[in-house]
């Protein structure tokens, strides 16, 4: 009798709606894999028979655009990855890579679908997650196009500080090229803006360590010009 999911402390909010029997069934159909920074977790264009759940770590969702790779979003622990594939044509429409060391739980797609149809609370949680992500996409879409670079970079720094690390002093795990892909800017422009923030004493940067010195200002830049 496999109790690994029953005993797992990193279950998703959806999985928390499952009863012990369902959790046991889940245990038999899921597999946890560790990834190092930079590892590919899901590959665009490949066939998939799993849903992935990010138990621990930080990943980026990226799509191969016509000219360069675009980072669509950064996803932190506690979210599913590749849900759209589950209900689509089973071919991954985007790639996911580890930005920090990550633990991913791969769940067999059939078992996942069974849980969806047998447990309506489970499926309601999944629906909620999908809806949130749709809204986030819309918002991102507006941000990407209606703010200028300083604002977008300020926004990303704040996202890392408030949402991801919950600290104003952190080691950022993406490089300037990746940040550029995330905010639709060239590496050089990112570098220039970051230098500017340093000069203006808004940030202190040493290598990948970032400390927010003037948060008010940063928030102001993120919101306005």
Chain contacts with its own copies (rule: CB under 8 A): 61, 63, 65-68, 70, 72, 83-88, 93-94, 113, 116-118, 120-121, 123-124, 126-128, 130-135, 137-142, 144-147, 184, 223-224
**Own/partner pairs, 59-68, CB within 8 angstroms, 24+ separation:** 59/96, 59/97, 59/98, 59/99, 59/102, 60/96, 60/97, 60/99, 60/174, 60/178, 60/182, 61/94, 61/95, 61/96, 62/94, 62/95, 62/96, 62/97, 62/181, 63/93, 63/94, 63/95, 64/95, 68/181
59 binds DNA (CB under 7 A): no
191 binds DNA (CB under 7 A): yes
Tell me whether strands 102-108 and 30-35 are parallel, antiparallel or unpaired: antiparallel
205 binds DNA (CB under 7 A): yes
209 interface partner picked from DNA, its own copies, none, CB below 5 to 8 A per type: none
**Cβ 57 to its own copies shortest distance, Å:** 21
156 interface partner picked from its own copies, DNA, none, CB below 5 to 8 A per type: none
Instruction: Give contact residues for DNA (rule: CB under 7 A).
Output: 148-150, 175-177, 180, 184-189, 191-192, 194-195, 205, 207-208
């Amino acid at each position: 009798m496999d109790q690994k999911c029953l005993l797992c402390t990193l279950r998703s909010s959806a999985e928390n709606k499952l009863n012990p029997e369902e959790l046991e069934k889940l245990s038999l159909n899921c597999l946890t894999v560790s990834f190092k920074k930079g590892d590919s977790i899901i590959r665009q264009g490949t066939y998939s028979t799993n849903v992935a759940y990010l138990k621990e770590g930080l990943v980026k969702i990226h799509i191969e655009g016509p000219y360069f790779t675009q980072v669509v979003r950064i996803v932190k622990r506690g979210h599913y990855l590749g849900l759209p594939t589950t209900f689509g044509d089973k071919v991954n429409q985007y790639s996911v890579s580890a930005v920090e060391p990550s633990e991913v739980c791969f769940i067999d797609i059939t078992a996942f679908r069974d849980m969806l149809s047998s447990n309506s609370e489970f499926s309601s949680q999944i629906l909620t997650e999908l809806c949130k992500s749709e809204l986030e996409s819309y918002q991102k879409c507006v941000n990407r196009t209606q703010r200028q670079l300083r604002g977008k970079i300020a926004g990303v720094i704040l996202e890392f500080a408030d949402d991801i690390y919950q600290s104003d002093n952190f080691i950022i795990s993406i490089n300037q090229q990746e940040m550029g892909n995330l905010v639709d800017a060239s590496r050089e422009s990112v570098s220039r803006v970051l230098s500017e923030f340093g000069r203006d004493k808004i940030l202190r940067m040493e290598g990948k360590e970032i400390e927010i010195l003037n948060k008010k200002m940063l928030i102001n830049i993120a919101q306005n010009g």
